[in-house]
Chains A and B, each alone.
Chain A
Amino acid sequence: GNSVTQMEGPVTLSEEAFLTINCTYTATGYPSLFWYVQYPGEGLQLLLKATKADDKGSNKGFEATYRKETTSFHLEKGSVQVSDSAVYFCAVSDRSQGNLIFGKGTKLSVKP
């Protein structure tokens, strides 16, 4: 079945630093890929997604590109802010039903 492996945390960065959180997946067929974010005290929310190879998802300055050849969907942001401190989850979906398979999550802390 589908699975996701993402970079272990926690990750601590200074404000304006460059962020990369690695994510690789195994899946049959052509799944959709997602990054979800969980801010402190809040529920999970979709950050960005990509539905086919070479698609780039982007939102709030974050980007991730669907790389089928390397089965990866790494999350990047050029300049992080304190408000980006949260737990980030990479996920792959079953295309027909949409149920999500999540990675373990990466906790990001951004210091001023």
Chain B
Amino acid sequence: GAGVSQTPSNKVTEKGKYVELRCDPISGHTALYWYRQSLGQGPEFLIYFQGTGAADDSGLPNDRFFAVRPEGSVSTLKIQRTERGDSAVYLCASSLTGGSNNEQFFGPGTRLTVL
């Protein structure tokens, strides 16, 4: 079956612009996670959705970052007033019900470059 997909695969934007990154999880997975991976680092947790609600957004770095999952499936990560330091690969993962006993399946990521 289809895995986790993310669009776009690459996004180049200018400092100060607004961007949206999309994640399509595996069908039927209620848990969805966003991570950010900077060059040479491991992924860092941003936000966790259980269904439509953000169960934990403690990893969002500041209020320029926001994410939604209105119908409990597709999620969009939104970044306002982008800064050069936001450049990274943004990863999305989904799992069947959340919790540590369910494997997270990762998408290929969106590489964001802020000029």
* Chain A residues packing against B (C-beta within 8 Å): 4, 31-32, 42-46, 49, 51, 89, 91, 93-105
Contacts and interface: CB of A to CB of B under 8 A. Distances in A.
Contacts of B1: none
Number of chain B interface residues as a range? 20 to 34
B84 to A, nearest CB: 21
Interface of B: 4, 31, 33, 35, 40-45, 48, 50, 55-56, 59, 91, 93, 95, 98-104, 106-109
Given A97-B56, A100-B33, 14 more contacts: A32-B100, A43-B4, A43-B106, A44-B106, A46-B104, A51-B101, A95-B99, A96-B100, A97-B48, A97-B55, A97-B99, A98-B31, A98-B98, A99-B45
Contacts of B101: 32, 51, 98
A95 B101 CA distance: 8
Contacts of A100: 33, 35, 43, 45, 104
B43 A98 contact: no
Given A102-B44, A104-B42, A105-B42, A31 B104 contact: no
Given A43-B106, A97-B48, A105 B41 contact: yes
A51 B102 CA distance: 11
11 contacts: A4-B42, A31-B100, A32-B101, A43-B107, A51-B100, A89-B42, A97-B99, A98-B102, A99-B33, A102-B44, A103-B42
A104 B98 contact: no
A45 B100 contact: no
A104 B43 CA distance: 8
Contacts of B33: 98-100
Given A97-B55, A99-B33, A104 B104 contact: no
A98 B99 contact: yes
Closest 10 interchain pairs by CB? A102-B42, A32-B100, A93-B100, A44-B106, A99-B45, A43-B108, A98-B99, A43-B106, A95-B100, A98-B100
A94 to B, nearest CB: 7
**Most chain B C-beta atoms within 10 Å of own C-beta, residue among A44, A46, A99, A102:** A99
